[in-house]
Structure 1
């Protein structure tokens, strides 16, 4: 980085700092120093001590960057080598001020970065270098080879147009295809370190796919943050490209995709967008499509997530720079997350026309090989002498999943879910198979206790054999509230599931599979009626301070789309602060 101080994190200004009396970047004064071509004369320019060299007899009153002084009168078709410039001028940055040329013509500027560097260009001024016709540049342009084009008849950019290249060599081309009397541009270049936090190489954790322009695969993001970004980020992205970024795991995981920055060409959402798909291809379910400067985060449970970036024609003004996103991959667990810092959300000010909401948009996984969730033990549980009986303590495990297949079998199993003092218990029957005839196999769900206890028990549900429910994908309207047809809730802190088999068959052909979670209204908000996961936080009754956890970790329903909403309703003179 050279030049002016950075005043905006999105703009890196590398223009010149001119000290009092200084003529330009490399010229301290026009006269007063000995001439290199005539030692008896002191009528030549005095150069900046660090990095400036005289232009010689061709331009005696000017200096240039050491290593480029031979181009003082004709800065066209030149090579800028990072190593040579650093050796001769002790600078890895500089200025390109093209001379006034008559069109049609063309010039090239070849940049050779050192290992660990990328090329940064900042364009400040264009004179008679084409024009933008509303859809493309015509008559001429500047183009960083393989990247974006910019053009303008007489443009002085308040904020420079920033271009980056990550190739081993980069070539800037000035093309003038029409008659002009004066074509010229002013730019600054820098061989920036790829390790720089502001202008460095942003991609991390992925591999470029061979024989593609910009496709990447990310397979090593578990327990380490990966970064994906548009080509040439944080500079202007190329026109008419399509890039795909595949995030992949060999086990079912939770993938959080958080967009740290997104700035696309405004009002061109048809051509310039980022789309996120719940699977490996663009034919997979689309979770979200982002455009303009819309930023949010997506949480997806599965093995693959695809991000597609598409751009249309270059558009004026050239003030867009693509996107950068962080990928966090976590293994699934029945334990609650220890922090919530990885779960970002979109705040919608007019959702349902009232107050604010946090939206979690997730497509549930369809991988059935969940060894960690189908092991012979459940966190926070204990088994009884009956072998298949299970007690789950809400103090130790707030949510989880259980499947009787592969477990110790018995003719009667009791699954007792006992929450904390202010809890209610919620279960989702995911799938079950009761194949015996005439109600010889039964599932019973009891509210606030177990059969045989001296309590005011209520039988919420009784399911008799023969019957079978296997979870299958369903069509889901993204605007509808998510609900689960076999979602059952307790009125108190305890709920019991009884699985009886009276046909003396205790094999895996008959089974029950369910998910559960404990809900504390004081901590987790008030559950909305007829909804599995929508909650409301009322400013007068809810805790003033708390943590939000991702609702999807409570649900292990397979192959479904889930939309959960956390809705904040502040009282008069209250506001909602999320950190």
Structure 2
């Protein structure tokens, strides 16, 4: 009688729990279905077999049904996996013996555990784990074949720690793993940052302390609602570990293999691309999110508990300057009073180093946020897990809004322009300009500024649409196409770019159907399609077959423009975005340049950016380039600027200079002269360089984007006519070359760079003697003068052949006598130093009476330091010294 009362009480209590559980589940599902404006929610699979499950999930009654085994001798080894369908009443009416009715009655999908546990049922397929459900594999396909269900219960054995159990959950394709934890008994404790003494880890068998997936622990925890966890990583493991001594450690949980397409329970990212080699980063762009609700993002494991110490980044990109991004939060539930460690941050760019636009934490009501592109970063930060584990992160819908508005046509400007008929003869002055349509637009600095965007969709519709760019007298027009779409068949719609300044007017012709997108399917910008006019005009013509049926499917062209003044800013190089040439003969004598990247042409540029100003002095000129201002360069700790007598250098350690923002002066063969990076401070400015050969000023940004533009700088230049390296070839038999005593600049970091080259051509068989003198005591790296054999190559820079001799400043004075067969030699000076080189070079040639084949060594070949400065030919012998001296005396007499 007592046993029956206890059993009834247990059944009644279990029934109440199940009913309460069902009510909670139904309530949350109703909230999820009925509320469109949900700011926080928990959702899980309703695990409820039927209304008669009064003992546990699979047991309807603990006694009253026939045992599935035949007798006691084989009761533990033979099981029938047929579902038990008879209840206690029917068995009594059929007159079964009492000992056949002492086993549990199972619900549909449940099977009796056997002789050792006759009063319990378990999920069919798991009968062998009734007494010890530990180290189990739960396979969705096998369980569905055995029990007809893809969910079940995990009731761990009662462990005495230290102990360990694991559970492998294997979903079928198209399923995710769901775990609902209701009860923890002596499973470690939370110390404020992590679990100690024991834990329940979901998503890995990693026993290390830096485990960053979901982890639960507690001395005596009852979770109502349950602590829900999800995994989309295929096969998932659950680790139940007790590391301290305990008497009774146990947990109770439900598992479910949930369909990824379930619209209510569970979540699967939509419309984005998983970023490879990352844990939880995703990329979204407007081309993949054109229909409503087609792009959804969420915290990892949503709507379950997310892992600890995670940073997940969601890159959101737009391909049009007019497009805005709307972020609508469908669910937001983060731990309260933990805003410093659990929050969502939105940045204007692709990295957290850009401007932060918004921060969301706790359960703030941030239903909709709207931002401009082209790049946004939504960063989800998760710190340590926080009991009682009643949070589940966020989910949000991305909507891309086209913000194009039609503008009024500006007043017609009176200027001469050729008819838009590219295949006709040159403009006839008697032919009037074509009439304007409502879509036509004249763009100049007066109406559009020096730089800007254009889009034919912002104009009133017309079948013919012209965008006419007209710059000032000394300007050229730089055009970059971002997006265009022509959908009519058989070239019925056309885009033409016309340069009215040339006879061959059509620069580009595009026939429908054709489409260009600013970004590829992965969200990365495609290299720009750029065009430069030969004069101050450029025209884009868009001819369409007819109006579209859908305004969202209109044929259009959009991009950016720049009016570039070549007289002030240098000659823009064809097919280049920002490379300029400054010629000493045609450019202004002096001018200034500044850092690029703020012009609208750079809107669709991402990644590395290199822009150069190339200063090319004439033969009788030098050029001085001075960096006057440098800003925002001291943020990179991987590079250090060190300045010395030989210029400023960038010390990068193991990193490559291409991966670091820097400003560099280079020779025409790309050898670095001055480099500024990292810790460079403004008080070290100005940095100037005077050069007698062409130099480049190269601006390099390792990771450029429109939101995160590079550093800024300003530099000035000055071409000086000084004749220092002017005359290149000398045919006279004697002469002198003198350096000039240039005044030293006031700035500490002012340098002289020389690469002068002279050719001595005697034209006859004469013996050439060269004398070099300097009163400076400098090293060869500061400056040196070298003698080379002449090489008859068209490029003058390559005339210097094999090295014969070299003079260093510390040598003070040297004489070189060359053999008779060297009719032509090259004298070359190279210098990179703070102090201008001072030297005198004299040469004299005489008629040869005795043809000596070997080179004659200088009498002072050994330097003041006792070391050989340069090697002499092996055919030179000091035993000939007397003969050579005598020969020179005889020659002088003659």
Give the TM-score category using the shorter length: 0.5 to 0.7
Would the alpha carbon gap of residues 335 and 324 (structure 1) be closer, same or farther in structure 2, given more than 3 Å must change? farther
Would the alpha carbon gap of residues 151 and 213 (structure 1) be closer, same or farther in structure 2, given more than 3 Å must change? same
- Do the aligned residues in 2 keep the contact of 1:103 with 1:179 (CA within 8 Å)? yes
State how far apart, in whole Å, the 1-side matches of 2:107 and 2:457 are.
Answer: 72
Alignment equivalent of 1:241, drawn from 291, 304, 310: 310
Within 5 Å, give how 1:250-399 maps onto structure 2: 250-252=319-321, 253-294=323-364, 295-335=366-406, 370-372=453-455, 377-378=459-460
RMSD of aligned alpha carbons: 3.5
The structural deviation recorded for 1:134 is 1.7
- Do the aligned residues in 2 keep the contact of 1:222 with 1:331 (CA within 8 Å)? no
The structural deviation recorded for 1:170 is 0.6
- Do the aligned residues in 2 keep the contact of 1:33 with 1:42 (CA within 8 Å)? yes
Q: Match for residue 144 of structure 1?
A: 202
Q: Could you state the TM-score of these two structures normalised by the residue count of structure 1? A: 0.58
Q: Match for residue 231 of structure 1?
A: 300
Describe the SS at the equivalent of 2:455: coil
The structural deviation recorded for 1:43 is 3.7
Q: Match for residue 187 of structure 1?
A: 253
Matched, 1:221 2:241: no
The structural deviation recorded for 1:68 is 1.0
Q: Match for residue 58 of structure 2?
A: 26
Would the alpha carbon gap of residues 298 and 17 (structure 1) be closer, same or farther in structure 2, given more than 3 Å must change? same
1:363-396 alpha-carbon deviations (Å, 9 max, x no partner): xxxxx77442687x3469x99xxx99xxxxxxxx
State how far apart, in whole Å, the 1-side matches of 2:355 and 2:340 are.
Answer: 18
1:10-51 alpha-carbon deviations (Å, 9 max, x no partner): 334645567458322111222222223335741443433410
The structural deviation recorded for 1:111 is 0.5
- Do the aligned residues in 2 keep the contact of 1:215 with 1:245 (CA within 8 Å)? yes
Would the alpha carbon gap of residues 432 and 109 (structure 1) be closer, same or farther in structure 2, given more than 3 Å must change? closer
The structural deviation recorded for 1:406 is 6.1
Would the alpha carbon gap of residues 19 and 371 (structure 1) be closer, same or farther in structure 2, given more than 3 Å must change? same
State how far apart, in whole Å, the 1-side matches of 2:562 and 2:314 are.
Answer: 38
Q: Match for residue 239 of structure 2?
A: 173
Describe the SS at the equivalent of 1:178: coil
Describe the SS at the equivalent of 1:80: strand
The structural deviation recorded for 1:271 is 1.1
State how far apart, in whole Å, the 2-side matches of 1:471 and 1:63 are.
Answer: 72
State how far apart, in whole Å, the 2-side matches of 1:37 and 1:222 are.
Answer: 59
- Do the aligned residues in 1 keep the contact of 2:106 with 2:112 (CA within 8 Å)? no
Structure with higher helix content? 2
The structural deviation recorded for 1:180 is 0.5
Within 5 Å, give how 1:203-214 maps onto structure 2: 203-214=269-280
- Do the aligned residues in 1 keep the contact of 2:347 with 2:376 (CA within 8 Å)? yes
1:148-202 alpha-carbon deviations (Å, 9 max, x no partner): 1111100111211000011110111111110100001111111111111122333
- Do the aligned residues in 2 keep the contact of 1:54 with 1:62 (CA within 8 Å)? yes
Within 5 Å, give how 1:90-109 maps onto structure 2: 90-109=148-167
Describe the SS at the equivalent of 1:267: coil
Q: Which has the larger radius of gyration?
A: 2
Would the alpha carbon gap of residues 101 and 202 (structure 1) be closer, same or farther in structure 2, given more than 3 Å must change? same
Q: Match for residue 128 of structure 2?
A: 70
- Do the aligned residues in 2 keep the contact of 1:129 with 1:183 (CA within 8 Å)? yes
State how far apart, in whole Å, the 2-side matches of 1:11 and 1:281 are.
Answer: 31
State how far apart, in whole Å, the 2-side matches of 1:125 and 1:21 are.
Answer: 19
State how far apart, in whole Å, the 2-side matches of 1:128 and 1:79 are.
Answer: 24
Describe the SS at the equivalent of 1:109: strand
Larger deviation, residues 195-204 vs 76-85: 195-204
- Do the aligned residues in 1 keep the contact of 2:309 with 2:382 (CA within 8 Å)? yes
- Do the aligned residues in 2 keep the contact of 1:334 with 1:373 (CA within 8 Å)? no
Would the alpha carbon gap of residues 221 and 254 (structure 1) be closer, same or farther in structure 2, given more than 3 Å must change? farther
Would the alpha carbon gap of residues 378 and 405 (structure 1) be closer, same or farther in structure 2, given more than 3 Å must change? farther
Q: Work out the number of aligned pairs and report it.
A: 372
State how far apart, in whole Å, the 1-side matches of 2:143 and 2:105 are.
Answer: 16
State how far apart, in whole Å, the 2-side matches of 1:374 and 1:122 are.
Answer: 52
Would the alpha carbon gap of residues 22 and 195 (structure 1) be closer, same or farther in structure 2, given more than 3 Å must change? same
State how far apart, in whole Å, the 1-side matches of 2:296 and 2:282 are.
Answer: 11
Describe the SS at the equivalent of 1:83: helix
- Do the aligned residues in 2 keep the contact of 1:221 with 1:328 (CA within 8 Å)? no
Would the alpha carbon gap of residues 210 and 36 (structure 1) be closer, same or farther in structure 2, given more than 3 Å must change? same
Would the alpha carbon gap of residues 281 and 168 (structure 1) be closer, same or farther in structure 2, given more than 3 Å must change? same
Q: Structure 1 stretches of 5 or more lacking a match?
A: 337-367, 389-403, 409-430, 436-469, 474-557, 561-579
Structure with higher strand content? 1
